[in-house]
Structure 1
């Protein structure tokens, strides 16, 4: 299950990001033994509208949860708001945003969080305590309106490391992830197209964005479902950086 983890860590150290194809990610997660994966993916059908984004004329659905990670493992924390400064999110920064809590907290989510803890914790062994945030996103595309996976544009999240895991995409095209240097240079691009395709990002080193998604068949529903997990040094988080 962990045989290729050092190679992924080396790519993150070298490039600041890594695309992980579905087969490799399934190996990392031992996905064949996840009994609740169908229920986990179905939980995206229960996401609530992001009312904060709707107030500025954009649309998506989401749920959110906060965890902590340390030498004892990963632990869920009481429900709390998601906060980013305008430095990282000029569209919706400097406000506490409360979202409906993640309910699909079973074997699949815990396996993903454990993988992140091994991967990111191994890259920063000096960090004893991590603040972990989990975001379920559904981006919907309509005939007259493209869906925006990253409405804030090319950005950093203000954390240490990020996992973006594709859960499902239906009747959409595009949605290309782009990775950029601080000066805007394009460092790489790839499209998450299959369930379990993933991106790992060193948020302190590179910026990332995703192009808009449009329906293949405008007469049918179209969506892109992803799980985003962020890891941040808890000491830095408490300091407000």
Structure 2
């Protein structure tokens, strides 16, 4: 399987891409999820998150200055129009060849579908227990307000649920519905598809670790968002 050829044949206006990416050592990535800080913008203490803004120049990943994460109220009715500030990805993670491989693959799709050379990378852990359901998308069926979105699953542990769905319209049945397994990468056009991932549950406790890539990153100048507020 030649992933470069697959990306070049991708129809940016109609397709979604789903593949299990071979040659990735997931254990090298897993350890960087264990110390993620809690997301201060959600109650329940079940989502943990970091975010970085990177560009790719001559196949080199370059971390850009930290910027607040922003989505409009139309795209995110729960936390739209709020400037959210998250800690950066660990610099050691960015140097790992496995991380660079999946980032470069996503960037190939960005080059095919846009003229943008910068991306946002969200590192997210969702936890669940018998006291707390974990909701990867508490805002419901939505768009991210970008050109391209990628979801790479790193780990699922002791959970049920977490079904990722793609929709042509919010009021229609999904055209794609699947539990993403560790090592699987889903990439799709944010203008063409709404998306949603259902809640995860566990008998005792469990977790779901993913990287969410966006092209471009969801950032806005200071004049475009409201004052930062947290739960």
Provide TM-score, normalisation by structure 2. 0.84
2:48 counterpart residue number: 61
Matched, 1:49 2:38: yes
Which of 107, 113, 118 is equivalent to 2:103? Answer: 113
1:7 counterpart residue number: 6
Instruction: List 4+ stretches of structure 1 deviating above 3 A.
Output: 4-16, 69-74, 236-240
Which of 211, 214, 222 is equivalent to 1:230? Answer: 214
Alignment CA distance shift 1:105-1:72 (3 Å): closer
Query: What stretches of structure 1 of length at least 5 have no aligned partner?
Result: none
The alpha-carbon deviation at position 100 of structure 1 amounts to 1.4
The 5 Å alignment of 1:74-153 reads 74-103=61-90, 104-107=93-96, 108-124=98-114, 127=115, 129-153=116-140
The alpha-carbon deviation at position 182 of structure 1 amounts to 2.6
Query: What stretches of structure 2 of length at least 5 have no aligned partner?
Result: 225-231
The alpha-carbon deviation at position 183 of structure 1 amounts to 4.8
**2:150 touches 2:212 (CA, 8 Å); kept in 1?**
yes
Provide TM-score, normalisation by structure 1. 0.81
Alignment CA distance shift 1:123-1:73 (3 Å): farther
Aligned-residue CA RMSD (Å): 2.6
User: What is the distance in 1 between the residues matched to 2:106 and 2:58?
Assistant: 13
Report the structure, 1 or 2, having the larger helix content. Answer: 1
Structure having greater relative contact order (Cα 8 Å, sep ≥ 6)? 2
Q: How many residues align?
A: 219
1:187 counterpart residue number: 175
